[in-house]
Structure formats: structure tokens, C-alpha cells
Structure 1
Amino acid sequence: MKSVTVKNLIDLFKLEVLIGNEHIGRVITRSRAHRPGLEFVGYFDFFPMERVQVLGKKEINYLHKLTEEERNHHIGNIVKYHPPCFVVAANQEGLKYLMKYCEQEGIPLLRTAEPTTEFINKLDMYLIQALAPEMAIHGVCVNVSGIGILLRGKSGIGKSETAHTLIHRGHRLVADDVVTLKKLGPNTLLGTHNESTREFLALRSIGLVNVVRLYGRKAFQEQSRIVLDIELTHWKDQALNNDLELEPKFSDYLDVRIPYIEIQLQPGRDVASLIEAAANNWYLKQQGYSAAEEFMKRLQNE
């Protein structure tokens, strides 16, 4: 199971450590933060104890209004579940009672100056990506007119050269050679690089090129949601037909289904243009438009 540590959060978000510096190696395995509101009034049936607990103004103001006995009771009930850490937002003060219990239970208590909602949004975004299931595959990832495409095919088939043509036409490289795929949700697959290949494109007969140095910042994108899986294959005689609407095919990565298209290569075929057409056609289908359906309606009307 993937995990991050409390120290990772401290370093990334510049959090102030109020107590528990010796315990910042504690592991976080669940994405999304939790605001313990119901738990402060004694309801623990669905308490996500593995999540980072964020205390905003509402929670702290509520605790401030309680008697010492009530406060000790409510806080004591939560810390005994040993969540990874507590983060107090908006630089709130008067936290000695909270520090006492966190110190007793060995739980880091952190603080940020950011407003509660803004901090939670940033934290959730980071944890979802950092803890997402992932896999690496051989291929190229490009963003064509805002649409993430995975280009696959045998070594030497021309994936990187095709990506270079697309970049020259104003589209963007995400990753070359090794593409890291992350599952962010049941239907969301993210493609990104593996850091070592960031901004690099390997072109046979030329070598490694840095697309940002060659074409500017607009030629590269850190990540993109993958919505099309295109495989480049060698030409097969008599394999292609002229069907108005091809039977849809899909690929499966980390249990996420992605529409699959095979493009056969032959001298003279403008593969980059076909990929642009596939991307634009996918977008139109998302808007509810099908060229084949419109054509059939015209025939019926005639």
C-alpha cells in the first residue's frame, strides 16, 4: 500500500510543528482530510481514524466554549484513536489543552496560516495523487487540444516521432518512453512522467531533445487525464474497412476503461492528423454528436 508521512506534509505545506516533532515519521495511507465535528459531540460510528484531522475555526471555537472537563472528555475520545496527525488551520491560538493530549498520545499537532477550506482542498489534491494506485507502461503520453492520449506500439514504430510532429503543431508532450498511470477515481486515469524523463523526447537518428528548450514552455505539460488509448501498428493488407461507425473497443488500466483505437502505419499516411481527428471526434461524441448518425439520418430523409 502506498503511503506518505507527516513529515512530507510539513515540508510540502510549510506547516508549523506545535508538538510531536519526534513522531513526524508517522504514516498516512488514506487520501482526503477529515474535520472532526460529529466526533466532538460523541458520534464515532464512521470516524475515519486513518485520515489527517483538520481543525478549522468552527471546531476550535467550539472547543474554546466548553468547560475544561467537557473539553478534556471530547478531545480524549478522539486522540485515543491515534489519527496520523492534527492540523490547526488559520493560525488559531489557545491550543494548550490540545497540545497536552497530543503529547500524551504521541500525535503530531501542526498549524498552518492558510484558511481551512483552502488548506483542505490543497491537502486533498496532494493526497489523492500521492496515494493513487499507479502503474508504468512503455509508450508516449501527449495532450492534443486539451485531450490526453496514450500512444502505444512496438519499439521503433514511430511513437516519439509522431509525438514530435504533434508538438510542432502546437500540442504538448506529457511523457516519453515510460508513462506513469495513476488511478484518481473509478473513471479517471492520469498520465504523467517519471521525473527522470521530464521534458525529454527520444528521437531516433537525432537523440534526446528537450522540448521546452526547443519549442518553449507551451510544448510540455506535467500531467493529463487519459481519455484515448491509440496503438500504432504495422500496415496489414485488407485489414481496414470502410464501415461508417467502427465497433467501439476499450483498453483497461487499473480497472479504468479507456476507448481504444488502432492506427495502421503506411508511407504517406499522416498519422499526426489522424490522431488530431480522433481527439476531436472523441470530444464531439462527449457532446452527444455522431457523424455516422447524422449521415444515416440524411440518407433516411432522402
Structure 2
Amino acid sequence: MAKVITQELLDRFELELLTGDSGVHREIHTSDISRPGVEMTGYFKFYPKERLQVLGKTEVSYLNELTQEQLRERMDNLCTDVTPGIVVTRGLDVPQELVDAAEAGGVPLMSSPYKTTRVISRLTNFLETKFAPFTAIHGVLVDLYGIGVMITGNSGVGKSETALELVKRGHRLVADDSVEIRQEDYDTLIGNSPPLIEHLLEIRGLGIINVMTLFGAGSVRSHKRITMVINLELWNEEKQYDRVGLDEETMRIMDVELPKSTIPVRPGRNLAVIIEVAAMNLRLKRMGINAAEEFSERLTNVIETGEDQPPSPEDRSED
């Protein structure tokens, strides 16, 4: 699990620190953000004190209607020893009682000039990305026609060489050898390269090459959503490979099922072209065009009705 501290929010989101600088290194442990509305009325029984607190126009307006004694009591309860920070939006004037309570409790009190919904949206997206489930897989990730294709297979099967050919054909490299994957949503996987080997390809017999230096900035990208998996394996004469495309194989990564195709490797096969076609065929399937199903329907129709039979030799001789 990644660690996020309040100081990162100050640096990234142009927040102004009003007080509580002693608590800027407090850790944030959840992406959930709280708008303490019911707490403003004095009900703190289920107060999520471990969350980042955001006060908007509604909350601040309500605070201004409280008596000084009520305000002081509720702000003391709001500013606990584990609260990572309080953000006041719209550049609103902050009640002095809140400033005093935050300073006494060491809670970072921050101000943002932007609207509440925008602040919450940006903070939530940032924290969800940081706390997203994470894993790493040995493989290559390439952007083909806007589709993130992860190429897997045993070491030495030709993943990096295939990626190099794809880059030469105008596609973009995301990661080689190790793909870091985070699950940003229940069905979304984002892959990127470890910083140490970003933009680098290892080609056996040649060594390490810098793809961006050789082919330009348009040949790489920092991250990409993973849409499908291509598994390369050495050709096995005893194994039956799918020749029609009706069988749909999947690969599960964390909580997401991805379509997977297994491509046998042997001399003479142009793997780059095959993977290109696999990516384009996936796009067609998502548009409702499935060549394998169309062929199966034609075949079924021929078997059941006898129509669409090829012309006999006698018919061809008459023509």
C-alpha cells in the first residue's frame, strides 16, 4: 500500500496552509473524503476522523450561525490527533475557533480557491490512484491503435523483439520486461514501466536500447490502460491451437478479466503483424463484428439448408 502524507496535497493542489504545519507529515490511509455536515450539529458518534475533511459553503455558513461556545466545542471535536487535514474551499473566511482548534491539535488547516465539488473530485482521483491495488507482471506493454496490449511469455520467446518491430511500425512502447499494474476501478487496469527501465528495450545480442532516443518521443508513452493479453509460446506440435476464434480465453489480473490470445511461435511467423491484427480484431468485436461467429452462422446455414453450396464442376463447365 502506498503512503500519502498531507504535504503531498499541499504541493500538488495549490492549497494554502493556514495553520497546523506540525501535522503536514500525517499519513492519509484512505481515499474516502468526508464532508462533516452532521458533525457540525454536534453528532460525532460515527465521525470518520481518519479521513481528509472538506468544508464547503454549506458547512462554513452553518458554523457562522453557531454560538461561540458551540463552535469551540465542535471544532475541538473535529480536530483530532489522527485527522490528516481539513480543507476549506472557495477561499471562504475560516472561523477563528477552527484556526485555534487546528493549531492546538496539530491538524493541517488548508484553503483552496476552487469550488467544493472540483476540490473533492481532484483529491479523490489522486488518492484512489495512490491507493489502487498494485502488482507487477513479467511482459511487454505496447499501445496498438489505442489498445493496450500486454505481451507475455517465457523468457527468450521473443517479446522484446516483437515490441521493437511494433515500434518500427509506428506503435508506442509503454514498458518492457516488467509491467507495473494498478487497478484504478473495478474493471480498469493501468500499466506503466518502472522508472529505472522506462523507455528501454533489452534485445538479446544487441543489449539495451533507448526507444525514445532512437525513434522519437512519439514512440513511447508513460502509461496505458491494458485491454488485452497476447501470450507467446513456442510451437508445440502435440497441442491443438484455436483456428477459428470461437473459443475466448481470458486472463485474470487482480479483480479484472482480460481477453487473452495464445500465439504459437516458430520460424517464419510475423508476430508483429499477427498482434496488430489481433488488436484490430478486438476493436471490431467491440463494434459488434465477429468474423468467427459470422463464419459459424454461415456454416450452420449451409448444413441445415444446403444453401450457398459451391458450384459443381458441371455448373462451372456450363458457364
TM above 0.5, yes or no, is yes
Shift, 1:140, TM fit = 1.0
Which consecutive unaligned segments of at least 5 residues does structure 1 have? none
Partner of 1:187: 187
> Which runs of 5 or more residues in structure 2 are unaligned?
302-306, 308-319
Identity of aligned residues (%): 40
Specify the alignment match of 1:278 in structure 2.
278
Size of the aligned set, in residue pairs, is: 302
For 1:195 and 1:214, the matched residues in 2 are separated by 19
User: Which whole-Å deviations, capped at 9, do the CAs of 1:156-182 have from their partners, x for residues lacking one?
Assistant: 221111111112222211111111111
After TM superposition, the structure 1 stretch with the greater mean CA deviation from structure 2, 72-81 or 165-174, is: 72-81
Contact 2:15 2:110 in 1 (8 A): yes
Pair 1:12–1:292, CA change in 2 (3 A): same
Distance 1:86 1:271, change over 3 A: same
Structure 1 partner of 2:100: 100
TM-score, normalised by the number of residues in structure 1: 0.89
Instruction: Specify whether residues 215 and 17 from structure 1 end up closer, same or farther in structure 2 by C-alpha distance, changes over 3 A only.
Output: same
Residue aligning to 2:75: 75
The one-letter code matched in structure 2 to 1:284 is L
Deviation by residue 1:89-119 (Cα, 9 ceiling, x = unmatched): 2322234221112123221112233333333
CA-atom RMSD, angstroms? Answer: 2.4
- Tell me, yes or no, if the aligned pair for 1:190 and 1:224 is still in contact at 8 Å: yes
Secondary structure of the corresponding residue to residue 138 of structure 2: strand
Residues 53-64 of structure 1: matches in 2 within 5 Å? 53-64=53-64
1:248/1:188 Cα in 2 relative to 1: closer, same or farther (>3 Å)? same
Kindly indicate whether residue 30 of structure 2 is the aligned counterpart of residue 30 of structure 1.
yes
The alpha-carbon distance between structure 1 residues 244 and 43, as it changes in their structure 2 partners (threshold 3 A), is: farther
Shift of 1:212: 2.1
| Superposition deviation, residue 81 in structure 1 | 7.9
Report the secondary structure of 1:227's partner residue: strand
Q: TM-score, normalised by structure 2?
A: 0.85
SS at structure 2 position matched to 1:296:
helix
Structure of higher CA gyration radius: 2
Could you tell me whether the CA contact under 8 Å between 2:86 and 2:107 is conserved in 1? yes
Q: Deviations over 1:57-99 (max 9, x none)?
A: 3332332343334433443443348421111223222342211
Q: 1:22 to 1:79 in 2, by over 3 A?
A: closer
CA contact (8 A) 1:144 1:172 kept: yes
Moved more, 78-87 or 41-50: 41-50
1:49 match = 49
CA distance in 1, matches of 2:43, 2:21: 30
